Amino acid sequence: QKEVEQDPGPLSVPEGAIVSLNCTYSNSAFQYFMWYRQYSRKGPELLMYTYSSGNKEDGRFTAQVDKSSKYISLFIRDSQPSDSATYLCAMSAGEGGSEKLVFGKGTKLTVNP
């Protein structure tokens, strides 16, 4: 079993839709959870960062972590065409979350106008 599983999609939604992206993981030591957005041929850009379990909201984005189920989610409200990108979940057991991030494969999202 891979440490981090993420459905690669692709996922195509109409503009304005609510998007749900998910990852599961197997390593119970993970404490730091991140979502990155990666546009084509570009490096990842941090979207959301969550420590341990719980929810975190930032504008149209909400990140949820359920450590008991080893499941994390990213919700995008009122999706826009500019949200079209690949979304990568990442997690770490290390202090501060910056060491040895383990990434999911990424889910490719297309938001159609």
Partner 1 sequence: GAVVSQHPSRVICKSGTSVKIECRSLDFQATTMFWYRQFPKQSLMLMATSNEGSKATYEQGVEKDKFLINHASLTLSTLTVTSAHPEDSSFYICSARVAGIRPTSDSGANVLTFGAGSRLTVL
Binding site for partner 1 (CB under 8 A): 4, 6, 8, 32, 34, 36, 41-46, 49, 51-52, 88, 90, 95-101, 103-106
CB of 54 to partner 1, least distance (A): 11
Could you tell me which residues are beta bridge partners of residue 56? 63
Residue among 10 and 16 whose Cβ is closer to partner 1: 10
CB of 16 to partner 1, least distance (A): 27
CB of 2 to partner 1, least distance (A): 9
Residue among 57 and 78 whose Cβ is closer to partner 1: 57
First to last CA, the chain: 37
Residue among 17 and 105 whose Cβ is closer to partner 1: 105
Long-range contacts of 69-73 (CB under 8 A, 24+ apart): 69/24, 70/24, 70/25, 70/26, 70/28, 71/22, 71/23, 71/24, 71/25, 72/22, 72/23, 72/24, 72/25, 72/33, 73/20, 73/21, 73/22, 73/23
Residue among 9 and 17 whose Cβ is closer to partner 1: 9
